[in-house]
Amino acid sequence: MSVSIIAGRHRGRRLLTPAGPSLRPTPGAVRETLFNWLGGRVTGARVLDLFAGSGALGLEAWSRGAQEVVFIEKDPQHRQLLSRNLAACGVAAPQLAGPDALGYLQHGTRPFDIIFADPPFDQGWPARMAPILWNGKQFAAEGWLYLETSAAEQWDDTLIPSHWQVHRRGRCGDSHYVLYMILPEHSHD
């Protein structure tokens, strides 16, 4: 599958992706929709790309002016291609922070403005991430979370914290995606 950066200083750059079904990059149309939803919030933002794969989401943010993007990817083959994609876009090697998404979320020390979470489908990742993300410590004031899941793994809106708001949601094939706005918890007290 061919994946290219859509806009910004690296517009049109093709990203390396592994052959075969092991990676499911977010389609260009979905990325374009997501970044239209985020608008100018990407410029100057600290971004975390969990389950980064080829790095398409995080590198799109980098291309559009994010201040910092941290990438997490477990698969060794994907990490190798991701390292090459980061180098091609001028992202420092330390931004490829590690292989353990849950561990990074639990032990990360600095908050992010935007977190992208596009885990492998039907492996229980959204349910495993929920209690960690819902505590909110990973988000800066008025943070954003993009979550892409299969239909069966979508979060029930009645279970998300009251200070989380669904900003927008969509669907593309088997992918269901939602952009949450996370307000400071005390703003709803």
Name the residue with higher pLDDT: 188 or 78: 78
pLDDT at 21: 60
Q: Do the strands 46-50 and 3-4 form a parallel or antiparallel pair, or are they unpaired?
A: unpaired
Q: What are the tokens at 174? A: 């088997």
Closest CA to 155 of 137, 136, 134, 173: 134
* Average confidence (pLDDT) over 1-13: 87
Report the alpha-carbon distance of residue 101 to residue 117 in Å, rounded. Answer: 9
pLDDT at 124 over 90: yes
Report the alpha-carbon distance of residue 41 to residue 143 in Å, rounded. Answer: 10
Closest CA to 25 of 64, 67, 58, 65: 58
Residue pLDDT, tens place only, 57-75: 999 999 999 999 999 999 9
Task: Report which secondary-structure segment, H or E, holds 84.
Answer: helix 76-88
Q: What percent of the chain is predicted at pLDDT more than 70?
A: 94
pLDDT at 189: 41
Report the alpha-carbon distance of residue 56 to residue 34 in Å, rounded. Answer: 12
| The CATH number, out of the four listed (3.40.50.150, 3.80.10.10, 3.90.440.10, 3.40.50.720), of the domain defined by the range 3-188 | 3.40.50.150
Q: Residue 107 carries which side chain, given as an amino acid letter?
A: H
CB 43, CB 96: distance < 8 Å: no
Q: How far is the CA of 165 from the CAs of 14, 40, 42, 162, in angstroms?
A: 34, 19, 19, 8
Which residue shows structure tokens 């608008």? 39
Residue pLDDT, tens place only, 10-29: 998 999 887 766 566 677 78
